[in-house]
């Protein structure tokens, strides 16, 4: 969430910064509301001060045995009651104004970092680096063909269980998923992350805090009888884990890793990725998350990206790192580095992780603060997939495919999986 004070005092600056995202905003109405709120706040403060003076006079009147110098006590009481009535009305006006302002500000995305490439869409993202040797050869099979041949998952029967864009993992498919989850969690724990296992259901306040609401309400699954939603990513409960807290700066950075199932209604849209593991309504993911001192969040962004990259390196999966341009940034992010893994069947790289620095955007929405130079300030939050499990499995199946139809398991995963190959029966 953006700073209300900045919108009130310099709306033109806000409009200019957001224009880099390709968004045209006119904040004049919102600015008027913030000015009105500040004026009401001043008016309320004056009334409360006057009310306190009258209360003190009434107290003195009785304490000093009805001191006549104080004046007409009935008139004082009448004035006091009138002030309390005015204060009550003004407090309600303030609450209504504040709600209207917050509702509008919650719809406004984060400022792009000055270091993010300027651009309109994904075509203007910038490749930063590559790692590994992409597999390129004849007769490459897609991961869903490999999965069907090796009986690793089933979509047809699953559509009868729920609907399309869900999947049931079978035998070695389920075993490989479990191996990847445990490997990723163990690796991140060794790198200093504390493991959490958050709930899969989150309330609306948690979704607002991370920036999922109100913008992405149509892309999430809601339990209509409760104020609960199926979590679209562990980023949501991890952000909310320290909601309304002031974190001791000596504890920063706080680094968490969490495995969670994720649920997204938008999966399968745009007419692509209708087969396999790439775009599902339900998928598993390991999330890494930092609460950082604001002075060190740029350095933290490099480190959280490196930690996600490390998983791909350990699995020997070729990938590239892409700096996301201003017009393609996520709603809450100020700067994002995408990791894209090589998928031979596409002859291209596909996103497997987004590592984002949200600055104080989520912390302001969630009231998560720290102390800096003896002043209370909002800290910075960073998140990244470390990694998306289904997409990692797809990359392993495609990059590890052998001529005989088997799949070679990455060496580092063998102790978790229990075998070096997945073979046909």
Write down which residue in 49, 80, 105 finishes a domain: 105
Give the number of domains in the chain: 2
Q: What is the mean pLDDT of residues 154-172?
A: 94
Residues 169 and 289 in one domain: yes
Alpha-carbon distance values, 93 to 37, 42, 89 (Å): 9, 13, 6
Q: What is the mean pLDDT of residues 289-315?
A: 98
**CATH number of domain containing 41:** 1.10.287.40
Residues 227 and 330 in one domain: yes
Helix (H, G, I), strand (E, B) or coil at 188: helix
Write down which residue in 75, 105, 135 finishes a domain: 105
What is the domain extent for residue 163?
A: 122-422
Residues 313 and 417 in one domain: yes
Residue 110 lies in a domain: no
User: Residue 72 — pLDDT band, cuts 50, 70, 90?
Assistant: confident
Q: What is the mean pLDDT of residues 307-325?
A: 98
User: Residue 290 — pLDDT band, cuts 50, 70, 90?
Assistant: very high
Residue 224 confidence (pLDDT): 87
pLDDT tens profile 17-36: 999 999 999 999 999 999 99
Residues 311 and 172 in one domain: yes
**CATH number of domain containing 306:** 3.30.930.10
User: Residue 63 — pLDDT band, cuts 50, 70, 90?
Assistant: confident
Task: State the chain's mean pLDDT as an integer.
Answer: 94
User: Residue 265 — pLDDT band, cuts 50, 70, 90?
Assistant: confident
Alpha-carbon distance values, 98 to 34, 37, 90, 101 (Å): 8, 7, 12, 5
Residue 272 confidence (pLDDT): 58
pLDDT score of 76 more than 90: no
Q: What is the mean pLDDT of residues 362-386?
A: 96
pTM: 0.92
User: Residue 56 — pLDDT band, cuts 50, 70, 90?
Assistant: confident
Residue 113 lies in a domain: no
Q: Which residues make Cβ contacts (< 8 Å) with residue 344, sequence separation at least 6? A: 134, 135, 136, 137, 140, 398, 399, 401
Residue 205 confidence (pLDDT): 97
Residue 238 lies in a domain: yes
Alpha-carbon distance values, 418 to 8, 117, 194, 327 (Å): 61, 44, 26, 44
The alpha carbon of 418 is separated from its chain's Cα centroid by a whole number of angstroms, namely 35
Residues 67 and 148 in one domain: no
Residue 117 lies in a domain: no
φ, ψ (nearest 5 deg) of residue 65: 55, 55
Residues 37 and 126 in one domain: no
Residue from 359, 384, 353 nearest 112 by CA:
359
Alpha-carbon distance values, 276 to 297, 396, 410 (Å): 36, 13, 21
pLDDT score of 268 more than 60: no
Residues 307 and 192 in one domain: yes
Helix (H, G, I), strand (E, B) or coil at 190: helix
Residue 102 confidence (pLDDT): 95
Residues 131 and 98 in one domain: no
User: Residue 187 — pLDDT band, cuts 50, 70, 90?
Assistant: very high
């Amino acid at each position: 969430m953006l700073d209300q004070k900045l919108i009130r005092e310099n709306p033109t600056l806000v409009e200019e910064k957001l224009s880099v995202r390709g968004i045209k905003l006119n904040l004049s109405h919102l600015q008027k509301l913030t000015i009105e709120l500040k004026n009401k706040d001043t008016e309320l403060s004056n009334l409360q001060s006057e009310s306190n003076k009258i209360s003190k006079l009434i107290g003195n009147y009785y304490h000093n045995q009805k001191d006549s110098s104080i004046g007409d006590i009935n008139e004082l009481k009448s004035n006091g009651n009138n002030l309390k009535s005015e204060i009550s009305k003004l407090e309600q006006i303030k609450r209504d104004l504040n709600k209207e302002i917050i509702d509008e500000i919650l719809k406004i995305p984060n400022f792009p970092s000055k270091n993010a490439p300027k651009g309109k869409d994904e075509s203007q993202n910038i490749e930063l680096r590559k790692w590994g040797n992409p597999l390129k050869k004849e007769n490459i099979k897609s991961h869903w063909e490999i999965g069907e041949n090796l009986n690793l998952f089933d979509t047809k029967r699953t559509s009868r269980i729920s609907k399309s864009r869900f999947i049931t993992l079978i035998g070695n498919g389920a075993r490989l998923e479990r191996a990847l989850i445990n490997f990723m969690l163990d690796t991140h724990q060794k790198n200093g992350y504390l493991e959490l296992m958050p709930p899969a259901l989150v309330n609306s306040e948690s979704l607002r805090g991370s920036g999922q609401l109100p913008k992405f309400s149509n892309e999430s699954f809601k339990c209509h009888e409760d104020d609960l939603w199926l979590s679209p990513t562990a980023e949501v409960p991890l952000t909310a884990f320290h909601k309304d807290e002031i974190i001791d700066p000596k504890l920063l950075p706080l680094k968490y890793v969490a495995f969670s199932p994720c649920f997204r209604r938008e999966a399968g849209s745009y007419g692509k990725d209708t087969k396999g593991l790439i775009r599902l309504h339900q998928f598993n993911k390991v999330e890494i998350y930092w609460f950082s001192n604001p002075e060190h969040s740029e350095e933290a962004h490099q480190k959280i990206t490196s930690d996600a990259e490390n998983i791909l390196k350990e699995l020997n999966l070729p990938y590239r790192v892409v700096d996301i341009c201003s017009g393609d940034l996520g709603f809450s992010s100020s700067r994002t580095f995408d990791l894209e893994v090589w998928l031979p069947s596409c002859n291209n790289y596909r996103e497997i992780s987004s590592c984002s620095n949200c600055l104080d955007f989520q912390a302001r929405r969630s009231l998560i603060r720290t102390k800096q130079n003896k002043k209370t300030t909002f800290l910075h939050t960073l998140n990244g997939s470390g990694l998306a499990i289904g997409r990692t499995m797809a990359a392993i199946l495609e990059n590890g495919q052998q001529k005989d139809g088997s799949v070679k398991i990455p060496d580092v995963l063998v102790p978790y999986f229990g075998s070096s190959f997945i073979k046909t029966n």
